[in-house]
Chains A and B, each alone.
Chain A
């Protein structure tokens, strides 16, 4: 199975900050990397697909980059509603796997 490793596991930041979350795959997954945001008690919400494509309706402060094994999610200027948990997910293998999550908290 392809293992997905996110870093950091948690992050404290302030409104207006620029933050970056990293996701590393245990083998090359080309661009088959997706990012989701989840708030407590809710289902995950797709932010970025195919490593860098912004899902319709998602604010442009979210961006993704990377290919192969190393990927990043960047939030350019944190808003109050962005404090949540973020997950990467690979869809290169049919045995889909998620990263362990990054919890973004208010400093």
Chain B
């Protein structure tokens, strides 16, 4: 069974840092591109970042570019999101998601981890 389990969320002050992890199991992790998607409380889904299979190619939404870094460790079957210079507007549930290699749809999602940025 494919499973994606996020961790690392919590309460952090504005300007602080947090690293999210997404542990993958039930499938061969290394060939898949992976993404982070977030959802602010009561709001819609917003794409954050993606990484290719070997980790050498990444993309970011303009709202997080220069502050967030996506990475992966294929030996540990784990995806990461390093979040620096956090802002109140970064408060959201963060989901990791796997992308199908053909049409690039999100076929599996984690349960999400809540990041709250507040003083």
Contact = CB atoms under 8 A, between A and B. Distances in A.
Interface string A85-107: 00101010011111111000000
Interface of B is mostly: strand
Interface of A: 1, 31-32, 34, 36, 38, 43-46, 49-50, 53, 55, 87, 89, 91, 94-101
A20 to B, nearest CB: 20
B103 A91 contact: yes
Contacts, number: 60
Contact of B110 (A34, A43, A49, A100): A43
A34 B103 contact: yes
A36 B47 CA distance: 14
Interface residues of B, number: 22
A46 B107 contact: yes
Interface string B22-57: 000000000000010100000011110010000000
Nearest to B44: A101
A49 B37 CA distance: 18
A95 B109 CA distance: 18
Contact of A44 (B50, B59, B100, B106): B106
Interface in B62-119: 62, 95, 99-100, 103-107, 109-112
